[in-house]
Each structure stands twice: as C-alpha cells, then as structure tokens.
Amino acid sequence: MPRKPPTRSSPAITTAEDTERTFVVRIAHDLSEYVDVAVVATDRGAAEQIVADLLHDSKLDNLKYELGDSQDGPHTCDSWEMDEADQVACTIKNGTPVFPQPPDALLCPHCGYDGTTATEHGGTFRYLSDQTIWREVVDASGSGDDRKILIDGKAEQYDEDEERNERLECRNCLKEFPIPTGLETDFN
Ligand SMILES: [Zn+2]
C-alpha cells in the first residue's frame, strides 16, 4: 500500500461541541508491516485508543499483514485525519470494525464503475497484490553518525514469497476493493 509520510499536527483540542470525524490510525507489526484503518472518533487520541483496545481484545485479527517473527504484538504507531486519498483496511465505528465486503459483480463499490468505458486513467481494473522485493547490499561503511549502506538500484522479486492481499483497483476512482465473490481469477 502507498505509505503516507507521517504527519505531525498538533493534538486536537476537544470541546463539548466536538463532533466525530474520521481518522486514519496506522498499525505497525514488526518493523516493516503496516496497515491503516479508519476510525470515527472525536480526536486522534481517542481514535488511537479505540484501535489499541481492539488490538488488545484480538478483535482486529482479520487484518492482512504478514506475521513476522517479532514477539511484539501489533501496535498503533501514527494517526491523522482522513482525507479522500487514504486507503484503509477497515472502518471502525462505535468501536466496531467493519471490513469491506467483496462485491457480487465486477463493479467498483466506491463509484459504480463497471470497466466498460475508457477513463482518464486508461479504464478497466488493475489486479493488485503485495510481494517482497529484494536488492543486494553492496557495501556498508563509515562509523558513528556517518554510517551508510550502499544498495544496488536493481530490485528483484522474491519468487519464493507468495503474493498476498490480492485486490482490484478501479481505474475510474483509483480506489481498491476485494475480488468479487464467485469470480475466478485466471492468468494468461
Ligand atoms: Zn471506482
């Protein structure tokens, strides 16, 4: 998933008139696996607390990140107010996570696009999946604050690593959704 740079806005000041807004809370697992969820809450702190409580109660075990060897459980690591471009794995409202359901037909659940007409992004859909890539570390040098590693620019796919988190991207609204139920995938 596209990584959003961490935002550091000042903590929201809560007042009695505060209405609920939607925040994105990022959950980290190990050092490199992240998943973002949307939370309807009054402020970022409340949103993070809701996610922390759900993680503690094992109510977010359906989230699809790769489980690594770390003994640390998943934990919240960042949050920001949601905007249209944010892609999230689920939406938590009134403390209850709601996972997106796969549509019955090949139709974007966000905008209703069916792939038949051209769009400014070329049209139809893209099949997305996550897979680890690797690059050779060429050299490690320096000491103290001046350490760096030199990495080969060319990336390779880890063929042993299974593709995961398969989904479709709508080329009309660029949002992602699960593979429709009952639809077999075939590759040529
Ligand atoms: Zn769409």
Question: What are the sequence ranges of the domains in the chain?
Answer: 21-98, 101-188
Q: For residues 112 and 180, is the Cβ–Cβ distance under 8 A?
A: no
Query: 183 alpha carbon to ligand 1 midpoint, in Å?
Result: 18
Query: 10 alpha carbon to ligand 1 midpoint, in Å?
Result: 33
* 60 class by beta-carbon count within 10 Å (0-12 exposed, 13-18 middle, 19+ buried): buried
Q: Name which residue leads in pLDDT, 9 or 80.
A: 80
Query: 115 alpha carbon to ligand 1 midpoint, in Å?
Result: 9
Quote the pLDDT of residue 70: 56
Q: For residues 78 and 143, is the Cβ–Cβ distance under 8 A?
A: no
Residue pLDDT, tens place only, 135-154: 998 888 777 777 888 999 99
Query: 137 alpha carbon to ligand 1 midpoint, in Å?
Result: 40
Residue pLDDT, tens place only, 71-120: 567 889 899 999 988 888 889 999 899 888 888 889 998 889 999 999 99
Spatial CA neighbour of 24 closest among 94, 76, 63: 76
Query: 182 alpha carbon to ligand 1 midpoint, in Å?
Result: 20
